[in-house]
């Protein structure tokens, strides 16, 4: 580097040094390991397909069960009303 280095000279020096640069040891191995580990992880979409679908089925079953219970036994308000009626002997 000189005191009066022109912009072109500076860029040329940067190019020369960076062109000669050799990457740190193990770079390729780290990249391959990282990419394969990432590929082995389930993606958000995979999780949605696997567990999301199960979640939808579970939610639908829970909703159906609540409906059956409510139909068979009445709502919480109705149960409270029945209990109150029993207390007063109705």
Partner 1 sequence: MRQAGGDLEEAARRVARGDVSAFATLVNATSARLYRLAIKMMGSGEEAEDVLQESYARAYEALRAGRFEGAARVDSWLYRIVANQAINALRSRRRRPAVTLQNDDIVADPRQASDVRVVLRELSGWLDALPADQRAALVLRELEGLPNAEIARIMGCSEGAVEQRLVRARAALRARSEQ
CA distance readout (Å), 73 to 23, 60, 89: 72, 20, 20
Spatial CA neighbour of 73 closest among 62, 81, 84: 81
Q: Applying CB under 8 A, which part among 2-10, 52-60, 64-72, 75-83 lies near partner 1?
A: 2-10
**Does 77 sit near partner 1 (CB under 8 A)?**
no
Between 34 and 74, name the residue whose CB sits nearer to partner 1.
Answer: 34
Whole-angstrom Cα distance, residue 77 to residue 48? 37
Question: In the range 27-66, which residues lie near partner 1 by CB under 8 A?
Answer: 27-28, 30-32, 34-36, 38-39
* From 2, 3, 22, 90, residue interacting with partner 1 (rule: CB under 8 A): 22
Q: Which residues bind partner 1 (CB under 8 A)?
A: 1, 5-7, 10-11, 13-15, 17-25, 27-28, 30-32, 34-36, 38-39
């Amino acid at each position: 580097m000189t005191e009066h280095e022109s912009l072109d000279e500076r860029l040329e020096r940067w190019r020369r040094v960076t062109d000669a640069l050799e990457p740190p040891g193990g770079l390729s191995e780290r990249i391959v390991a990282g990419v394969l580990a990432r590929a082995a992880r389930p993606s958000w979409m995979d999780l949605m397909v696997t567990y999301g679908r199960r979640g939808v089925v579970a939610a639908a079953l829970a909703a159906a069960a609540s409906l059956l219970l409510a139909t068979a036994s009445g709502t919480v308000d109705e149960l409270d009303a029945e209990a109150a009626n029993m207390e007063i002997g109705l």
